[in-house]
Amino acid sequence: MRNLICGILIGIGGSWLFVRETPVEWFVWLLFAVGSVLVVFGLDVLVGSLKEHEERAAWLGLGMFGGSGVVSLAVAFSLVV
């Protein structure tokens, strides 16, 4: 279910970038792709570490990977708007 929700949100964001009236630069697509991968990887680290009862590793992994992914996505969408 988590993968489905992440895929839907990434698809909505990519579709919004694709249908813009003004063309989107290549580095915005790169930032969007890297940010999306980092957020999904951060969520995967969170879930995997929590299943192994490693709470500190779970939250640190989410903070490191997910946090940098969110920053990358924020920069990508701020360059478009």
Share of the chain above pLDDT 70, in %: 100
CA 52 from chain centre, in angstroms, equals: 23
Average pLDDT over residues 52-77: 96
pLDDT of residue 1: 84
Q: What is the pTM of this model?
A: 0.89
Does the pLDDT value for residue 51 go beyond 90? yes
With contact defined as beta carbons under 8 Å apart, do 69 and 37 qualify?
yes
Q: How confident is the model at residue 49 (pLDDT cuts 50, 70, 90)?
A: very high
22-36 burial, b if ≥16 CB within 10 A, otherwise e?
eebeeebeebbeebb
Mean pLDDT of 12-38: 93
Answer whether 72's CB lies under 8 Å from 31's CB.
yes
Per-residue pLDDT for 36 more than 90?
A: yes
